[in-house]
Protein backbone atom coordinates (compact mmCIF):
# COMPACT_ATOMS: atom_id res chain seq x y z
CA UNK A 1 0.00 0.00 0.00
CA UNK A 2 1.33 3.44 -0.93
CA UNK A 3 0.68 6.70 0.93
CA UNK A 4 1.47 10.14 -0.46
CA UNK A 5 2.16 13.38 1.40
CA UNK A 6 2.80 16.89 0.11
CA UNK A 7 5.85 18.34 1.83
CA UNK A 8 6.43 21.96 0.80
CA UNK A 9 7.44 21.71 -2.90
CA UNK A 10 7.96 17.92 -2.94
CA UNK A 11 5.90 14.74 -2.74
CA UNK A 12 6.90 12.01 -0.30
CA UNK A 13 5.68 8.47 -0.93
CA UNK A 14 5.88 5.50 1.43
CA UNK A 15 5.21 1.92 0.36
CA UNK A 16 4.37 -0.82 2.85
CA UNK A 17 4.00 -4.40 1.59
CA UNK A 18 4.62 -7.82 3.15
CA UNK A 19 6.26 -6.32 6.23
CA UNK A 20 8.62 -4.13 4.19
CA UNK A 21 8.60 -0.35 4.24
CA UNK A 22 10.47 2.00 1.91
CA UNK A 23 10.04 5.66 1.09
CA UNK A 24 11.24 8.30 -1.35
CA UNK A 25 10.62 11.93 -2.20
CA UNK A 26 10.00 13.38 -5.68
CA UNK A 27 9.35 16.76 -7.24
CA UNK A 28 5.96 15.75 -8.63
CA UNK A 29 3.16 13.44 -7.53
CA UNK A 30 3.27 11.68 -10.92
CA UNK A 31 6.88 10.64 -10.29
CA UNK A 32 5.97 9.46 -6.81
CA UNK A 33 3.06 7.39 -8.13
CA UNK A 34 5.19 5.78 -10.84
CA UNK A 35 7.88 4.87 -8.30
CA UNK A 36 5.26 3.45 -5.93
CA UNK A 37 3.80 1.17 -8.64
CA UNK A 38 7.24 -0.16 -9.57
CA UNK A 39 8.26 -0.66 -5.96
CA UNK A 40 5.07 -2.49 -4.98
CA UNK A 41 5.50 -4.82 -7.96
CA UNK A 42 9.06 -5.66 -6.89
CA UNK A 43 7.97 -6.48 -3.36
CA UNK A 44 5.04 -8.62 -4.53
CA UNK A 45 7.37 -10.57 -6.85
CA UNK A 46 9.75 -11.23 -3.97
CA UNK A 47 12.42 -8.74 -4.93
CA UNK A 48 14.09 -6.14 -2.75
CA UNK A 49 12.76 -2.58 -3.07
CA UNK A 50 15.20 0.19 -3.83
CA UNK A 51 15.71 2.30 -0.73
CA UNK A 52 16.14 5.98 -1.47
CA UNK A 53 18.68 7.13 1.08
CA UNK A 54 18.95 10.75 -0.01
CA UNK A 55 15.46 11.67 1.05
CA UNK A 56 15.34 15.47 0.90
CA UNK A 57 12.57 15.41 3.50
CA UNK A 58 15.23 15.52 6.24
CA UNK A 59 19.01 15.73 6.10
CA UNK A 60 21.61 14.69 8.64
CA UNK A 61 21.72 18.29 9.85
CA UNK A 62 18.02 18.27 10.68
CA UNK A 63 16.97 19.64 14.04
CA UNK A 64 14.82 17.84 16.55
CA UNK A 65 12.08 20.34 15.65
CA UNK A 66 12.32 19.21 12.01
CA UNK A 67 11.92 15.60 13.16
CA UNK A 68 8.94 16.64 15.33
CA UNK A 69 7.26 18.14 12.26
CA UNK A 70 7.85 15.07 10.13
CA UNK A 71 6.67 12.75 12.90
CA UNK A 72 3.49 14.82 13.31
CA UNK A 73 2.87 14.69 9.55
CA UNK A 74 3.65 11.05 8.89
CA UNK A 75 3.40 8.97 12.06
CA UNK A 76 0.95 10.69 14.43
CA UNK A 77 -2.05 10.51 12.04
CA UNK A 78 -2.04 6.72 12.36
CA UNK A 79 -2.51 6.88 16.13
CA UNK A 80 -5.56 7.33 18.29
CA UNK A 81 -3.95 10.27 20.09
CA UNK A 82 -2.90 12.09 16.92
CA UNK A 83 -4.37 15.44 17.96
CA UNK A 84 -2.65 15.33 21.36
CA UNK A 85 0.70 14.42 19.80
CA UNK A 86 0.59 17.22 17.25
CA UNK A 87 -0.30 19.82 19.87
CA UNK A 88 2.45 18.62 22.22
CA UNK A 89 5.15 18.46 19.56
CA UNK A 90 4.30 21.95 18.38
CA UNK A 91 4.46 23.29 21.92
CA UNK A 92 7.75 21.58 22.76
CA UNK A 93 9.63 22.80 19.70
CA UNK A 94 8.33 26.35 20.24
CA UNK A 95 9.12 26.68 23.96
CA UNK A 96 12.38 24.79 24.42
CA UNK A 97 15.59 25.79 22.55
CA UNK A 98 17.04 22.32 23.01
CA UNK A 99 14.79 21.04 20.23
CA UNK A 100 16.07 23.66 17.77
CA UNK A 101 19.47 21.96 17.82
CA UNK A 102 20.53 19.22 15.37
CA UNK A 103 18.82 16.05 16.55
CA UNK A 104 22.06 14.06 16.40
CA UNK A 105 23.72 16.46 18.88
CA UNK A 106 21.19 16.06 21.69
CA UNK A 107 22.47 13.96 24.59
CA UNK A 108 21.11 12.28 27.69
CA UNK A 109 22.14 15.20 29.96
CA UNK A 110 20.35 17.60 27.59
CA UNK A 111 17.13 15.61 27.93
CA UNK A 112 17.62 15.44 31.72
CA UNK A 113 17.92 19.26 31.88
CA UNK A 114 14.74 19.64 29.84
CA UNK A 115 12.97 17.08 32.07
CA UNK A 116 13.88 19.02 35.22
CA UNK A 117 12.70 22.34 33.76
CA UNK A 118 9.44 20.74 32.70
CA UNK A 119 8.92 19.18 36.16
CA UNK A 120 8.95 22.68 37.63
CA UNK A 121 5.97 23.53 35.39
CA UNK A 122 3.76 20.45 35.14
CA UNK A 123 3.04 17.17 36.93
CA UNK A 124 5.33 14.12 36.72
CA UNK A 125 2.67 12.21 34.77
CA UNK A 126 2.59 14.94 32.11
CA UNK A 127 6.38 14.92 31.88
CA UNK A 128 6.34 11.15 31.47
CA UNK A 129 3.82 11.36 28.62
CA UNK A 130 5.86 14.03 26.87
CA UNK A 131 9.09 12.14 27.46
CA UNK A 132 7.51 9.07 25.91
CA UNK A 133 6.49 11.09 22.85
CA UNK A 134 9.93 12.66 22.40
CA UNK A 135 11.48 9.22 22.82
CA UNK A 136 9.22 7.85 20.07
CA UNK A 137 10.44 10.57 17.71
CA UNK A 138 14.09 9.79 18.45
CA UNK A 139 13.54 6.06 18.02
CA UNK A 140 11.82 6.52 14.66
CA UNK A 141 14.50 8.95 13.49
CA UNK A 142 17.20 6.46 14.49
CA UNK A 143 15.56 3.47 12.79
CA UNK A 144 13.97 4.99 9.70
CA UNK A 145 15.24 8.44 8.77
CA UNK A 146 19.04 8.01 8.62
CA UNK A 147 19.79 11.26 10.42
CA UNK A 148 22.98 10.09 12.07
CA UNK A 149 21.18 9.36 15.35
CA UNK A 150 22.82 6.31 16.91
CA UNK A 151 21.26 6.35 20.36
CA UNK A 152 17.99 7.55 21.83
CA UNK A 153 18.99 10.02 24.60
CA UNK A 154 15.61 9.64 26.30
CA UNK A 155 16.55 6.09 27.28
CA UNK A 156 19.53 7.46 29.23
CA UNK A 157 17.51 9.46 31.76
CA UNK A 158 15.43 8.45 34.75
CA UNK A 159 11.72 8.98 34.36
CA UNK A 160 9.91 10.85 37.15
CA UNK A 161 7.76 8.76 39.43
CA UNK A 162 4.09 9.08 38.57
CA UNK A 163 1.67 10.10 41.32
CA UNK A 164 -0.74 7.50 42.62
CA UNK A 165 -3.51 6.67 40.15
CA UNK A 166 -6.83 8.41 40.66
CA UNK A 167 -9.46 6.56 42.65
CA UNK A 168 -12.31 9.02 42.19
CA UNK A 169 -15.70 7.49 41.44
CA UNK A 170 -18.94 9.22 40.43
CA UNK A 171 -21.97 8.82 42.66
CA UNK A 172 -25.56 8.89 41.43
CA UNK A 173 -26.05 12.23 43.21
CA UNK A 174 -22.97 13.74 41.56
CA UNK A 175 -23.94 12.71 38.05
CA UNK A 176 -27.43 14.14 38.53
CA UNK A 177 -25.99 17.45 39.71
CA UNK A 178 -23.72 17.67 36.66
CA UNK A 179 -26.40 16.93 34.06
CA UNK A 180 -28.73 19.39 35.81
CA UNK A 181 -26.11 22.09 35.28
CA UNK A 182 -25.94 21.05 31.63
CA UNK A 183 -29.70 21.47 31.30
CA UNK A 184 -30.66 17.87 30.62
CA UNK A 185 -33.29 15.79 32.41
CA UNK A 186 -31.82 12.38 31.56
CA UNK A 187 -34.81 11.20 29.53
CA UNK A 188 -35.48 13.72 26.75
CA UNK A 189 -33.67 13.78 23.39
CA UNK A 190 -30.75 16.24 23.67
CA UNK A 191 -31.07 19.42 21.65
CA UNK A 192 -28.30 21.76 22.79
CA UNK A 193 -24.56 21.12 22.86
CA UNK A 194 -24.64 21.13 26.68
CA UNK A 195 -27.39 18.50 26.73
CA UNK A 196 -25.36 16.32 24.35
CA UNK A 197 -22.41 16.59 26.73
CA UNK A 198 -24.65 15.34 29.55
CA UNK A 199 -25.89 12.53 27.29
CA UNK A 200 -22.30 11.50 26.48
CA UNK A 201 -21.40 11.48 30.19
CA UNK A 202 -24.28 9.11 30.92
CA UNK A 203 -23.33 6.94 27.94
CA UNK A 204 -19.77 6.73 29.28
CA UNK A 205 -21.08 5.69 32.69
CA UNK A 206 -23.07 2.85 31.08
CA UNK A 207 -20.45 1.58 28.62
CA UNK A 208 -16.98 2.46 30.02
CA UNK A 209 -16.13 4.03 26.67
CA UNK A 210 -13.54 6.78 26.53
CA UNK A 211 -14.58 10.30 25.57
CA UNK A 212 -12.80 10.04 22.21
CA UNK A 213 -14.45 6.70 21.48
CA UNK A 214 -17.90 8.13 22.12
CA UNK A 215 -17.22 11.16 19.91
CA UNK A 216 -15.97 8.92 17.08
CA UNK A 217 -19.05 6.68 17.22
CA UNK A 218 -21.55 6.91 14.35
CA UNK A 219 -25.14 5.72 14.53
CA UNK A 220 -24.27 3.21 11.82
CA UNK A 221 -21.82 1.63 14.31
CA UNK A 222 -24.64 0.91 16.78
CA UNK A 223 -26.32 -2.46 16.30
CA UNK A 224 -29.53 -2.47 18.31
CA UNK A 225 -30.38 -6.08 17.41
CA UNK A 226 -27.00 -7.43 18.55
CA UNK A 227 -26.85 -4.92 21.42
CA UNK A 228 -23.37 -3.70 20.65
CA UNK A 229 -21.49 -0.66 19.40
CA UNK A 230 -18.53 -1.16 17.09
CA UNK A 231 -15.48 1.05 17.61
CA UNK A 232 -13.35 1.11 14.47
CA UNK A 233 -10.47 2.85 16.16
CA UNK A 234 -9.58 3.03 19.84
CA UNK A 235 -6.75 4.56 21.85
CA UNK A 236 -4.62 1.42 21.59
CA UNK A 237 -5.30 1.04 17.87
CA UNK A 238 -7.52 -2.03 18.10
CA UNK A 239 -11.15 -2.41 17.05
CA UNK A 240 -13.63 -3.25 19.79
CA UNK A 241 -17.27 -4.25 20.10
CA UNK A 242 -18.81 -2.69 23.19
CA UNK A 243 -21.77 -4.59 24.68
CA UNK A 244 -24.79 -2.42 25.44
CA UNK A 245 -26.68 -2.97 28.67
CA UNK A 246 -30.42 -2.36 28.90
CA UNK A 247 -29.69 1.03 30.43
CA UNK A 248 -27.34 1.91 27.56
CA UNK A 249 -29.94 0.77 25.02
CA UNK A 250 -32.62 2.88 26.70
CA UNK A 251 -30.30 5.87 26.62
CA UNK A 252 -29.49 5.49 22.92
CA UNK A 253 -33.14 5.02 22.01
CA UNK A 254 -33.90 8.47 23.38
CA UNK A 255 -32.69 9.79 20.02
CA UNK A 256 -35.48 9.41 17.47
CA UNK A 257 -34.72 8.35 13.86
CA UNK A 258 -30.98 9.12 13.88
CA UNK A 259 -29.05 9.46 10.62
CA UNK A 260 -26.77 6.40 10.36
CA UNK A 261 -23.91 8.50 8.97
CA UNK A 262 -24.12 11.09 11.75
CA UNK A 263 -22.13 11.02 14.99
CA UNK A 264 -23.96 9.72 18.05
CA UNK A 265 -22.80 12.81 19.95
CA UNK A 266 -22.58 15.83 17.60
CA UNK A 267 -20.13 17.84 19.72
CA UNK A 268 -16.45 18.61 19.17
CA UNK A 269 -13.94 17.39 21.76
CA UNK A 270 -12.80 20.87 22.80
CA UNK A 271 -16.35 22.11 23.24
CA UNK A 272 -17.27 19.02 25.28
CA UNK A 273 -14.32 19.65 27.61
CA UNK A 274 -15.27 23.32 28.03
CA UNK A 275 -18.93 22.67 28.75
CA UNK A 276 -18.28 19.77 31.13
CA UNK A 277 -15.66 21.73 33.03
CA UNK A 278 -18.00 24.69 33.53
CA UNK A 279 -20.86 22.42 34.63
CA UNK A 280 -18.90 20.51 37.24
CA UNK A 281 -17.47 23.73 38.70
CA UNK A 282 -20.92 25.33 38.90
CA UNK A 283 -22.17 22.16 40.62
CA UNK A 284 -19.39 22.40 43.20
CA UNK A 285 -17.80 19.20 41.89
CA UNK A 286 -14.49 20.48 40.49
CA UNK A 287 -12.80 17.25 41.62
CA UNK A 288 -14.79 15.20 39.09
CA UNK A 289 -13.36 14.53 35.63
CA UNK A 290 -15.21 13.19 32.59
CA UNK A 291 -12.77 10.26 32.46
CA UNK A 292 -13.81 9.23 36.00
CA UNK A 293 -16.91 7.82 34.33
CA UNK A 294 -14.74 5.04 32.90
CA UNK A 295 -13.59 4.00 36.36
CA UNK A 296 -17.12 4.17 37.72
CA UNK A 297 -18.45 2.06 34.84
CA UNK A 298 -15.70 -0.58 35.14
CA UNK A 299 -16.16 -0.86 38.90
CA UNK A 300 -19.95 -1.17 38.55
CA UNK A 301 -19.69 -3.79 35.80
CA UNK A 302 -17.10 -6.02 37.47
CA UNK A 303 -19.41 -7.77 40.00
CA UNK A 304 -21.82 -8.65 37.18
CA UNK A 305 -19.16 -10.51 35.17
CA UNK A 306 -17.58 -13.90 35.75
CA UNK A 307 -13.92 -12.94 35.31
CA UNK A 308 -11.50 -10.11 34.64
CA UNK A 309 -11.09 -11.07 30.97
CA UNK A 310 -14.73 -10.23 30.34
CA UNK A 311 -14.23 -6.84 31.94
CA UNK A 312 -11.13 -6.22 29.82
CA UNK A 313 -13.09 -7.15 26.69
CA UNK A 314 -15.59 -4.40 27.53
CA UNK A 315 -13.12 -1.69 28.50
CA UNK A 316 -10.50 -2.55 25.89
CA UNK A 317 -7.58 -2.73 28.31
CA UNK A 318 -4.65 -4.78 27.07
CA UNK A 319 -3.03 -5.38 30.46
CA UNK A 320 -4.24 -6.27 33.94
CA UNK A 321 -2.09 -3.52 35.50
CA UNK A 322 -3.93 -0.84 33.53
CA UNK A 323 -7.32 -2.39 34.26
CA UNK A 324 -6.55 -2.28 38.00
CA UNK A 325 -6.31 1.51 37.75
CA UNK A 326 -9.96 1.66 36.70
CA UNK A 327 -11.45 -1.11 38.82
CA UNK A 328 -11.84 0.49 42.26
CA UNK A 329 -14.35 -1.46 44.41
CA UNK A 330 -15.14 -0.36 47.94
CA UNK A 331 -13.80 -2.70 50.65
CA UNK A 332 -17.26 -2.80 52.24
CA UNK A 333 -18.77 -4.06 48.97
CA UNK A 334 -16.14 -6.80 48.73
CA UNK A 335 -16.81 -7.76 52.35
CA UNK A 336 -20.52 -8.16 51.56
CA UNK A 337 -19.72 -10.39 48.60
CA UNK A 338 -17.53 -12.57 50.82
CA UNK A 339 -20.55 -13.26 53.01
CA UNK A 340 -22.82 -14.16 50.09
CATH of the domain at 330: 1.10.443.10
Range list of β-strands (E), the chain: 2-7, 10-17, 20-26, 222-223, 228-231, 240-243
Count of domains for the chain: 3
Write down the pLDDT at residue 56.
46
| Strand order, beta sheet including 20-26 | 2-7, 10-17, 20-26
Across residues 304-319, what is the average pLDDT? 84
Percent of the chain with pLDDT over 70: 92
* Residue 220 belongs to some domain of the structure: yes
| C-alpha to C-alpha distance for 330 and 308, rounded to whole angstroms | 17
| C-alpha to C-alpha distance for 218 and 215, rounded to whole angstroms | 8
Residues 274, 254, 310, 330: is their CA dihedral positive or negative?
positive
Based on the domain organization, do 230 and 108 belong to the same domain?
no
> In CATH, what number is assigned to the domain containing residue 76?
1.10.150
- Domain boundary among the residues 97, 127, 156 is at 156
How would you class 35 by CB atoms within 10 Å of its CB: exposed for 0-12, middle for 13-18, buried for 19 or more? buried
Q: Which one of 70, 115, 295, 317 is the catalytic residue?
A: 317
Based on the domain organization, do 211 and 308 belong to the same domain?
yes
Based on the domain organization, do 146 and 108 belong to the same domain?
yes
Based on the domain organization, do 151 and 179 belong to the same domain?
no
Q: Which one of 12, 118, 175, 210 is the catalytic residue?
A: 210
User: β-strands 222-223, 228-231: how paired?
Assistant: antiparallel
* Residue 254 belongs to some domain of the structure: yes
Q: Is 327 an annotated catalytic residue?
A: no
Q: Phi-psi region for residue 195, left (φ > 0), alpha (ψ -120 to 50) or beta?
A: alpha
Based on the domain organization, do 28 and 78 belong to the same domain?
no
Q: pTM of the predicted model, to two decimals?
A: 0.65
Q: Which one of 94, 235, 253, 318 is the catalytic residue?
A: 235
Based on the domain organization, do 176 and 285 belong to the same domain?
yes
Based on the domain organization, do 291 and 197 belong to the same domain?
yes
Those residues whose C-beta lies under 8 Å from the C-beta of residue 223, and which sit 6 or more positions away, are 229, 230
Write down the pLDDT at residue 234.
76
Those residues whose C-beta lies under 8 Å from the C-beta of residue 134, and which sit 6 or more positions away, are 92, 111, 154
Based on the domain organization, do 36 and 77 belong to the same domain?
no
* Residue 101 belongs to some domain of the structure: yes
145-159, 217-231, 239-253, 285-299 — which is least confidently predicted? 145-159
* Residue 34 belongs to some domain of the structure: yes
Based on the domain organization, do 308 and 178 belong to the same domain?
yes
Q: Is 317 an annotated catalytic residue?
A: yes
Based on the domain organization, do 274 and 325 belong to the same domain?
yes
Based on the domain organization, do 102 and 188 belong to the same domain?
no
Write down the pLDDT at residue 338.
83
Residues 235, 236, 241, 245: is their CA dihedral positive or negative?
negative
Q: Is 202 an annotated catalytic residue?
A: no
Question: What confidence tens digit (pLDDT) does each residue in 42-57 have?
Answer: 777 776 655 444 444 5
- Residue 19 is part of which domain span? 2-44
* Residue 49 belongs to some domain of the structure: no
Q: Is 86 an annotated catalytic residue?
A: no
Based on the domain organization, do 221 and 97 belong to the same domain?
no
Question: What confidence tens digit (pLDDT) does each residue in 36-91 have?
Answer: 888 887 777 776 655 444 444 566 678 999 999 999 988 888 777 788 899 999 99
* Residue 164 belongs to some domain of the structure: no
* Residue 195 belongs to some domain of the structure: yes
Q: Which one of 71, 202, 326, 327 is the catalytic residue?
A: 326
Amino acid sequence: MATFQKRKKAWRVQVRRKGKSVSATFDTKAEAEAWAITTESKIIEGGEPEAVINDPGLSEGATAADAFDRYADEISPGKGGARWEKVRLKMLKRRYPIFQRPIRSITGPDIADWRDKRLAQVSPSTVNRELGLVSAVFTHAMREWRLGVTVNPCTLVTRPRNPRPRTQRVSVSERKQIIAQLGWDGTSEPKTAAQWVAFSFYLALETAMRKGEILSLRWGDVNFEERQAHLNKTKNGHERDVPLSKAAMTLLRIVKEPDLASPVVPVKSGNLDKLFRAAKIDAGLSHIRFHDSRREAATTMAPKLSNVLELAAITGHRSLSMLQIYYKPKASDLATRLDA
